Chain A
Amino acid sequence: MARQLDPNGQSLYARFSRYLSEGDDRLDQDMIREVDAPPAVHDPEPVPPSAPFPPVAEGVKTRHTRVATVAYQLIAMLLTAAISMLLIWTTAKLPSFGDAQNPAHNEVARRYVENGMDETGSVNLVTGMILDYRAFDTLGESNVLFTAACVVLMLLRSGSREERIEIEADERMEDRNRDEILQTAARVLIPMIMMFGCYVILNGHLSPGGGFSGGAVIGAAMILYLNAFGSGASGRFLTIRTFRFVSVLALSFYSLSKAYSFFTGANHLPSVFTTGVIGNLFSAGLIPYLNIAVGLVVCFTMYAFFALFRKGDI
């Protein structure tokens, strides 16, 4: 494999190893020199870098493979058409849309609507359902998010030193060209987005919203911050340690508090978490606290996804 050469005629690897041995100052000097230097006159015909893999040999794509490809595409189209037609035909035979007599609207839904507010204390019946009647399901859901974040972390976190140095070099290059308009807009917008996210989370049991939607809003604000000010700025308050600590703390709080409420509920013991005055901010037993826990997991996971795909680290 031919090494890619930079304008100074050194291989990238040689530069990396120099940065490794001589530290950050050398990287800074090089960056300043190369960024401030007048643009080099490019060769009229730059030599294309040789592909890291040789193109597939001609002999591999025989007539048989081409026939197989066409056959595969035909079968796939027929299969898809058949499945779609079958589904549409079945849909046409389903009970009509929006009819109150549909079998889906059975005694379970009736029970949730009629007793939901008194039993859970939540004005928003969906929140009462997912964080009280079906709290176990929501715990599994938060765990799925956390597990996915861990998997992405394992897959994308840059392992080797060279990779990390390369990413850091990119980062510094970007730091020099931060967009002033984006930064000014972000300074105004981020507090408002954060506040709206907190409002959505805290009022999850009173109005539309809850931990998942509010957490996504806060995650968006954090992503905006990362884009506007760079990972150097966001790394001051959010590292992989914070992510792990907050996620694990929120999930453990969720599991333990729900274990407590299952225990008291199954044994007919009085619970310290009562429904309170329905409609107040701090009412509905555990639901506001569970919403906060879920919101924390969601916002940190959203940020972690973005940061990992962007630069391979949180």
Chain B
Amino acid sequence: MILTNYAEIAAMILFGIGLMLLLLNKNMIKKIIGFSMTDSAIFLYLAAKGYISGRKAPIVTDGVTSAEAYINPIPAGLVLTGIVVSVASSAVLLALTVRLYRKYHTLNLDEITDRARKGEE
């Protein structure tokens, strides 16, 4: 069955890359890029789960309302919600990063931690 789930496996690989970026990069902006990549992986996964081969998008055409004619509309709605929340959280994260940069003049997380600790002493 591994040969049929291309989209899901691509989503999982994308998730792994995003997680790696999130964990290994010291640059805050790159961390946020990794965060967005994990989001995209989840959207790809959900969209793939809603697809049914040979069926059309869930927009009623010619008055056909049989469930056998259209793909599953639920994941589409979930992905829509997810995209909006992802945009909102990225904006908040970037705004926080801008504030950190204004205070510490660096994007490197280790440097920020050092400088914050020095400021406390």
Contact with B along A65-93 (1 / 0, CB 8 A): 00000000100110111011001100111
A53, B59: Cβ atoms closer than 8 Å: no
Bound-state CA distance A114–B67 (Å) is 6
A53, B70: Cβ atoms closer than 8 Å: no
B70, A125: Cβ atoms closer than 8 Å: yes
Indicate if B76 sits at the interface (CB-CB under 8 A). Answer: yes
Knowing A92-B5, A98-B53, A104-B50, say if A125 contacts B60 (CB, 8 Å): yes
Which B41-91 residues have C-beta < 8 A from chain A?
A: 48-55, 57-60, 65-70, 72-77, 80-81, 83-85, 87-89, 91
CB neighbours (8 Å) of B53 from chain A are 97-100
- Count contacts on A: residues with CB < 8 A to the other chain: 64
Stretch at the interface among A7-15, A148-156, A226-234, A247-255: A148-156
Indicate if A130 sits at the interface (CB-CB under 8 A). Answer: yes
Indicate if A212 sits at the interface (CB-CB under 8 A). Answer: yes
Contact with A along B89-102 (1 / 0, CB 8 A): 10110111011000
A124, B105: Cβ atoms closer than 8 Å: no
CB neighbours (8 Å) of A147 from chain B are 88
Knowing A97-B4, A97-B51, A144-B84, say if A110 contacts B67 (CB, 8 Å): yes
B16, A83: Cβ atoms closer than 8 Å: yes
Bound-state CA distance A237–B104 (Å) is 36
What's the interface size class on B, roughly?
35 or more
Identity of the chain B residue whose Cβ is nearest the Cβ of A294 in the assembled complex: B84
A113, B16: Cβ atoms closer than 8 Å: no
CB neighbours (8 Å) of B91 from chain A are 148-149, 152, 305
Residue from A73, A88, A134, A138 with most neighbouring chain B CB atoms (10 Å): A88
Knowing A84-B15, A309-B94, say if A92 contacts B50 (CB, 8 Å): no
B16, A87: Cβ atoms closer than 8 Å: yes
Which A125-150 residues have C-beta < 8 A from chain B?
A: 125-126, 129-130, 134, 137-138, 141, 144-145, 147-149
Indicate if A52 sits at the interface (CB-CB under 8 A). Answer: yes
Indicate if B19 sits at the interface (CB-CB under 8 A). Answer: yes
A79, B65: Cβ atoms closer than 8 Å: no
B85, A105: Cβ atoms closer than 8 Å: no
B2, A92: Cβ atoms closer than 8 Å: yes
B73, A109: Cβ atoms closer than 8 Å: yes
CB neighbours (8 Å) of B115 from chain A are 53
Which A279-300 residues have C-beta < 8 A from chain B?
A: 298
Indicate if B13 sits at the interface (CB-CB under 8 A). Answer: yes
B5, A126: Cβ atoms closer than 8 Å: no
Q: Nearest Cβ distance between residue B1 and chain A, in whole angstroms?
A: 5
A99, B52: Cβ atoms closer than 8 Å: yes
Bound-state CA distance A162–B115 (Å) is 25
Indicate if B29 sits at the interface (CB-CB under 8 A). Answer: no
Identity of the chain A residue whose Cβ is nearest the Cβ of B89 in the assembled complex: A148
30 A–B pairs (Cβ distance < 8 Å), ordered by A: A60-B114, A80-B19, A80-B20, A84-B15, A87-B15, A91-B5, A91-B8, A92-B2, A93-B1, A97-B5, A100-B53, A104-B50, A112-B74, A113-B65, A113-B69, A113-B70, A114-B65, A116-B65, A116-B73, A123-B59, A123-B60, A125-B58, A126-B59, A129-B73, A130-B77, A130-B80, A148-B88, A148-B89, A151-B92, A208-B57
Seen from chain A, the residues whose Cβ lies within 8 Å of a Cβ on chain B are: 51-53, 56, 60, 73, 76-77, 79-81, 83-84, 87-88, 91-100, 102, 104-105, 108-110, 112-118, 123-126, 129-130, 134, 137-138, 141, 144-145, 147-149, 151-152, 155-156, 207-208, 212, 298, 305, 308-309
